[in-house]
Amino acid sequence: MTDLTQLGVKAIRDGVAGGDFTAREVAESFNAAVAGASALNAFIVATPDHALSAADAVDARRAKGEDLGKMGGVPIGMKDLFCTDGVQTTAASHILEGFVPRYESTVSRKLWEAGAGMLGKLNLDQFAMGSSNETSYFGNVSSPWRKEGANAAMSPGGSSGGSSAAVAARIAPAATGTDTGGSIRQPAAFTGIAGIKPTYGRCSRWGVVAFASSLDQAGPMARSVEDCAIMLEAMAGFDPKDATSLERDVPAWEAGLDANLKGKRIGIPREYRMEGTDQAILDSWEQGKAWLRDAGAEIVDVSLPHTKYALPAYYIIAPAEASSNLARYDGVRYGLRDLPDGSGLQDMYAATREEGFGDEVKRRILIGTYVLSAGFYDAYYTQAQKIRALVARDFEEAFASCDAILAPTTPTASFPLGENSDDPLAMYLNDVFAVPASLAGLPAMSVPAMLNPDGLPLGLQIVGKPFDEQGVLNAGLAIQQRAGFDAAPEKWW
């Protein structure tokens, strides 16, 4: 029998529907793979029973001849930022350790309704703040990838680093991610998998632990563009419980996949040619253009003049929203409480938050508090929101002359854990190519392109017009077919 853990979403769904294997066999295979991969530290908790009972329900439906759902029989990893009823949800923080939601996030509920099961809750950067998965209270996640001939543990990217590591290591066929400023795309690029952040508002934020609400978007991470299309269909859709949810039908993205790009124009933003970008990344970008041209697209130059200001604007806006969102962790309603002897309410707040938040989270709350404080608000926050409007306008103007944009996902390949952790600013630069699309709320995806000379994966990014996930997926598929990326990390865990 084939090793079921080598299969992706589509192959599992179709194999279960066709009776090639049962959903229970799939769940058992992945449960065993998860149990055997603790060295990666990808999961904060495993939930093998959830995966098995979802699988049994799918097998029972099949026996009765019923519809199995878009994700029927597919066990997935759930980023531990999504509230799951009866299963601890921590955002990889100490302050939420032991928090067991009494409700299900909309995105996870939709996935279970589509026939998926849960292998466990995936590790991440604390409150999704980080680009290397080194800020989790539950320890670093190791990428399954290593440099050729080296043993140093590498970063799986962040913040969805547990998700990327699990999918790349084939201990989950797919996983949920969230992307505030690159947290789906950068880890996907670092680990040789695909991931898409849809248009802001496609996936409900209800029940997702909030970081920066005007930027946070959920999306799928999987090994192929087709798998991402299938899973995004199951995750997306209008939700009255999220005030910014889009009231639009979910397109049939899987059925609409078409790698023929004849008549499409792909823009190459000249400002993305930045100093400090690896030569191998620039080479992969050139190769990407050639692949898309081969698929029938016309390559055109475009300009996004405010690109260099997107990242600093993001590091005002996201911390500002975070400082407000994370005010809810007060030691009163849920999570940790630190009540020093004889102290009052204010001391309890301050002690609880000192104890419960990690350094990067504190840093961002302080920055956010500062830029929103009286006397500084206009100089920092209002200015950043004006620049955000200019970044969005740049894209709007570029899309007058192209259908989608091709760029690198990251300026470098993955780096060893610990290499950038002492320098917050150097870490932030990882998301320099990812953040502009986040500020503009645009759909954007990373697809694996090739290995660099060290044997580490590199990703290419496609950014689309608002609501045009189909165009993004189609360009991604054209790259995937030509890249033929089938490299997998050698098992050491």
Measured distance CA(363)–CA(365) in Å, rounded: 6
With CB under 8 A as the contact rule, which of the stretches 17-25, 93-101, 157-165, 273-281 interacts with another protein? 93-101
Cβ 350 to another protein, closest distance in Å? 4
Asked whether position 373 contacts another protein by CB under 8 A, the answer is yes
Measured distance CA(221)–CA(197) in Å, rounded: 9
Tokens of 198: 């849809």
Q: Give the three-state DSSP class for 178.
A: strand
Site for another protein in 194-213 (CB under 8 A): 199-201
Rounded to 10 degrees, the C-alpha dihedral 195/119/81/7 comes to 0
Cβ 216 to another protein, closest distance in Å? 11
Site for another protein in 395-454 (CB under 8 A): 424-425, 439-441
Query: Starting at the edge strand that comes first in sequence, how are the strands of the sheet with 217-222 ordered?
Result: 43-46, 117-122, 75-79, 174-179, 217-222, 194-197, 444-451, 457-464, 404-408, 265-269, 298-302
Peptide bond into 159 cis (omega under 30): yes
Residue whose CB is less far from another protein, 39 or 327: 327
Residue whose CB is less far from another protein, 289 or 393: 393
Q: Which position has the token pair 């509230």? A: 83
Site for another protein in 448-487 (CB under 8 A): 466
Site for another protein in 325-364 (CB under 8 A): 327, 330-337, 339, 343-351, 353-354, 357, 362-363
Cβ 12 to another protein, closest distance in Å? 30
Site for another protein in 121-160 (CB under 8 A): none
Residue whose CB is less far from another protein, 277 or 385: 385
Residue whose CB is less far from another protein, 30 or 357: 357
Asked whether position 315 contacts another protein by CB under 8 A, the answer is yes
Asked whether position 240 contacts another protein by CB under 8 A, the answer is yes
H-helix or E-strand spanning residue 50: helix 48-63
With CB under 8 A as the contact rule, which of the stretches 125-133, 294-302, 384-392, 406-414 interacts with another protein? 384-392
Whether the Cβ atoms of residue 154 and residue 417 lie closer than 8 Å to each other: yes
Alpha-carbon distances, residue 444 vs 76, 156, 171, 198, 391 (angstroms): 22, 19, 25, 6, 15
Give exposure, 439-461, as e/b (b: 16+ Cβ within 10 Å).
Answer: bbbbbbbbbbbbbbeebbbbbbb
Residue whose CB is less far from another protein, 166 or 317: 317
Measured distance CA(42)–CA(313) in Å, rounded: 31
Cβ 1 to another protein, closest distance in Å? 42
Q: Which of 387, 435, 445, 478 binds another protein (CB under 8 A)?
A: 387
Q: Which of 379, 397, 418, 481 binds another protein (CB under 8 A)?
A: 379
Name the residues annotated as catalytic.
79, 159, 183
Cβ 369 to another protein, closest distance in Å? 4
Cβ 349 to another protein, closest distance in Å? 4
With CB under 8 A as the contact rule, which of the stretches 167-175, 263-271, 291-299, 383-391 interacts with another protein? 383-391
Residue type at 483 in one-letter notation: A
Q: DSSP per residue over 84-142, as a string?
A: BTTB---TT-STTTT---SS--HHHHHHHHTT-EEEEEEP-SGGG--SSS---TT-PPP
Residue whose CB is less far from another protein, 309 or 493: 309
Residue whose CB is less far from another protein, 373 or 481: 373
Measured distance CA(107)–CA(221) in Å, rounded: 14
Cβ 435 to another protein, closest distance in Å? 13
> How many residues line the site for another protein (CB under 8 A)?
77
Measured distance CA(41)–CA(22) in Å, rounded: 28
Residue whose CB is less far from another protein, 90 or 143: 90
Cβ 368 to another protein, closest distance in Å? 8
Asked whether position 241 contacts another protein by CB under 8 A, the answer is yes
